[in-house]
Structure 1
Amino acid sequence: MRKRFSPRVVFFTAWIALSLMSIAWAFASPLGSGPDEPAHLIKAASVVRGELVGPQGDTGNIVDVPAAVAWTATQDCYRFDLNQDAGCAPALEGSGSETVTTETSAGYNNPVYYAVVGWPTLLLTGEAGLYGVRIVSAIISSAMLACAFLLVAGWRRRSVPAVGLLIALTPMVIYVNGVVNPSAFEISGSLAVFAAMLSIVLHPSLELLAGRLTILVVTAALAMGARTVSPLWVALAIALPLLLLGWRGVVQLLRQRAVIVSATALAVLAVAAVAWNPISTRLATDARTTSTGGFEVFPDVGSSPLFGFMKMITLSVTNGNDMIGNFGWMDTPVPDTTVVAWTVLLGAIVLAAVYLLRRRYAIFGIALALGFFLVPPLIQAAFITTGGYIWQGRYGLPTLTMMAFGLAAVLACAIPRRVENTGTSVGGTRVVGVIAAAFIYAQSYAFASALHRFTVGSATAWKQMITQPAWSPPGGAVLSLGAFGLGAVLLAVIVVSLHLSKNPFDQDEKEGHREDLTPRAV
């Protein structure tokens, strides 16, 4: 007999597991080693001190921050050299609490993310405040991802969607949560919004509607305030699941009072986020027109939109690998085995979708695939003439996570009941167990490889990471490795448990009724 598994237990366990993995990254990554992290740390520290933008300088916006925050910009001696450890970086002198004037290239960014995560610099001095910002970002981002597991735990057919969530969480998703970068809120929040919408559409429940909408609105607010393009990802996360309903279902859904209130709140939040974009895009204009040479001018400025689109298409494999994992300043790629493992898992989901999905499920799957393959090139095409080629692999992670999880969600509905029942047998459990084991191995190997690079350099013997590290994370390498491994195992156990457990909301299984899984509105 299958035991019940409380969705609340799922949420808190997933939150702990994801936080352990993300905080392990926060410790294992040298301060300032995340993509553009010094600029984001300076922006966060200035926003919580009342400077939302700051006057224009030669290389960014001029702001006043603690010296420890500005110090992170000096930690660049090991960038783009895999054989150079982080021990070469200069140490922080003094407490770092004195105020200095510096510049940040993130000055025009939307201040929401920075206001939420930057407050530890007001309470803690030196490196403690910087790690505090990372930890806050990690915990909040992990909570949004844990909401997706909470939502799936309330579904009747949740084995395949739970596995889909596991596959959606590439090493890069967890890594970004552990450094200071607004992409963390964008990726985690978009996935949570998407999971909430799929819950409303595929598994309607008036009793659960208010809670699902609350998750949707809160995570959407955090995600839309992350980056310039973030409102687009949230819009896709809300709109794509509606393809499963049709017009009648959408109209029926919009008649619900809770939906009307939530839609109004989302509209206000979207207007606020989009209203900031004209300010944000000034950075690209200044970069193009400045004569000081201080700003970075991205390549291919002035090229045609068609050139930008085709360049993105030709770099699909590179961007795909970066979405699986390329840490630091995109100078620390994951091992090839991790790339192979995720490529196989993602490919299996896509092939299963091609074989099984029909009618609205197929339309939904095609829309997800088009969103993944075409929307990023279209964005780059629209930007390249005035701003140049700016795309980095992680920017497309919202589309990848939605595609992996979305296909798994509708595959669960498309699989015949007799096959699903067979899936809970020993054979099905073995498949889920193998995927969970692959997740643990590929994630942990990617983490250990990056930590090895930062502590002693990639060319040095692995054992010296423990015995003779040139640079060491707080608490030592063993603590970071242990915390990450524990989190990965715990998250995999959740997925296996969801596969084996009985849904507390499912009475059909007990009564022997056939479940109608046709998408319908609440």
Structure 2
Amino acid sequence: MKPGQWLRRLFGRLRWIHAAPLLAVLTLTAWAFASPVGAAPDDDYHLVSTWCALGGSDACAPVDDPAMRKVSTAFEASRCYALESGMSAACQEDVGLALNGATQETNRGNFQNKYPDVFYGTMRMFAGNDLVRSAIVMRLVNLALFVGLATALAALMPASRRQTLLWGWLVTLVPLGIFLIPSNNPSSWAITGVGTAFLALLGWFESHGRRRWALGALYVVGIIMAAGARSDAAIYAAGATLVASLVTADRQREWLLRSILPIAGLAVIALLFATTSQADLGTQGFTGAVSTGGTGGVDGATAEANGGL
């Protein structure tokens, strides 16, 4: 076959849906670069928690009080435009976001295990000496995880479920999800993880052979992402597990054997949920009533208002 004929045959088989991953990457990348550092809810809290994860960094050092850390003032400075409708993020250039500058003590961080450590620990690997560059890299990693998992699900799930995947993500992501997924907020993983767990478990019950095992692996990835990011997301992941199991339930022996995976998944979710010192975050997070602390950051009222995200 001539090269020209091969290319024509290849492009002849392509449909618009095959461009969806590329379009998703372009859309989410645009949000990742368009949103300044500190744009997402409680970004100063989550960024501090990232740099302080896994034993801390040059920008985060322990102090005598275990509930406090000495961190760079750049984290608080990134919020210079918060609650100021007439001010843009250009103020960051004036205050400076250098991590090697002045420091302050703060309790605005995940120093008492209010959140699980999985998200912060993973993002810590991308936390360098440049706050802006590191934040952008983390956003790109998070959007790549979402697009990669969604693409894998589309390739592995039964054809009858691909419409569920497509429309499920489109309806639920617009508009807030598109902003949160390419962000430094653990809600990024909460959204990606819960959706992935639900869809993958559906595929686990309805597929056969290698596809089924691959979907089972994606389900495990989904629940770890969700429950490892937020305590309330652990509850959502458990709910997604139960719903997917009930939707596909029957009394056949094969279904009973396959149900071992979601049972094990619920145990993993419960374990991750129990790692936080505030398990009640799982219920209070629905209303956004959990405070992330206020010393050294935005005021306590703002922190409480944003605490649900």
Give the structure 1 partner of residue 204 of structure 2.
Answer: 200
- In 2, the alpha carbon distance for the partners of 1:279 and 1:217 equals 24
Q: How many residues align?
A: 283
Residue 136 (structure 1) shift? 2.4
Q: TM-score, normalised by structure 1?
A: 0.46
Give the structure 1 partner of residue 214 of structure 2.
Answer: 211
Equivalent residue runs for 1:316-465 within 5 Å: 392=308
Matched, 1:33 2:39: yes
Give the structure 2 partner of residue 140 of structure 1.
Answer: 145
* Counterpart code for 1:144: L
Matched, 1:278 2:284: no
Contact 1:112-1:226 within 8 A present in 2 as well: yes
Give the structure 1 partner of residue 268 of structure 2.
Answer: 269
Deviations 1:223-251 (A, max 9, x none): 111111121111111111222234515x5
- In 1, the alpha carbon distance for the partners of 2:208 and 2:151 equals 20
- In 2, the alpha carbon distance for the partners of 1:190 and 1:61 equals 30
SS at match of 1:253: helix
Equivalent residue runs for 1:19-98 within 5 Å: 19-50=25-56, 61-65=67-71, 67=72, 70-91=73-94, 93=96, 95-97=98-100
Contact 1:217-1:265 within 8 A present in 2 as well: no
Contact 1:183-1:227 within 8 A present in 2 as well: yes
Residue 276 (structure 1) shift? 1.5
Quote the RMSD (CA, aligned, Å): 4.0
Contact 2:237-2:269 within 8 A present in 1 as well: no
- In 1, the alpha carbon distance for the partners of 2:164 and 2:110 equals 39
Matched, 1:191 2:190: no
Give the structure 2 partner of residue 497 of structure 1.
Answer: none
- In 1, the alpha carbon distance for the partners of 2:211 and 2:232 equals 30
Q: Which has the larger radius of gyration?
A: 1
SS at match of 1:167: helix
Give the structure 2 partner of residue 254 of structure 1.
Answer: 256
Equivalent residue runs for 1:223-238 within 5 Å: 223-238=226-241
Give the structure 1 partner of residue 133 of structure 2.
Answer: 128
SS at match of 1:179: coil
Deviations 1:489-509 (A, max 9, x none): xxxxxxxxxxxxxxxxxxxxx
Alpha-carbon distance change, 280 to 119 in structure 1, aligned in 2, over 3 angstroms: farther
The gaps in structure 2 that reach 5 residues or longer are 1-11, 285-289
SS at match of 1:110: coil
Give the structure 2 partner of residue 173 of structure 1.
Answer: 177
Contact 1:185-1:222 within 8 A present in 2 as well: yes
Contact 2:165-2:199 within 8 A present in 1 as well: no
Contact 1:75-1:90 within 8 A present in 2 as well: no
- In 1, the alpha carbon distance for the partners of 2:97 and 2:110 equals 26
- In 1, the alpha carbon distance for the partners of 2:68 and 2:139 equals 23
* Counterpart code for 1:18: A
- In 1, the alpha carbon distance for the partners of 2:63 and 2:97 equals 28
Deviations 1:314-350 (A, max 9, x none): xxxxxxxxxxxxxxx99xxxxxxxxxxxxxxxxxxxx
Percent identity between the two aligned chains: 20
- In 2, the alpha carbon distance for the partners of 1:389 and 1:92 equals 25
- In 2, the alpha carbon distance for the partners of 1:295 and 1:83 equals 18
- In 2, the alpha carbon distance for the partners of 1:253 and 1:136 equals 35
Give the structure 1 partner of residue 124 of structure 2.
Answer: 118
- In 2, the alpha carbon distance for the partners of 1:40 and 1:276 equals 18
The gaps in structure 1 that reach 5 residues or longer are 299-328, 331-387, 396-522
Contact 1:74-1:90 within 8 A present in 2 as well: no
Residue 180 (structure 1) shift? 0.8
- In 1, the alpha carbon distance for the partners of 2:20 and 2:276 equals 34
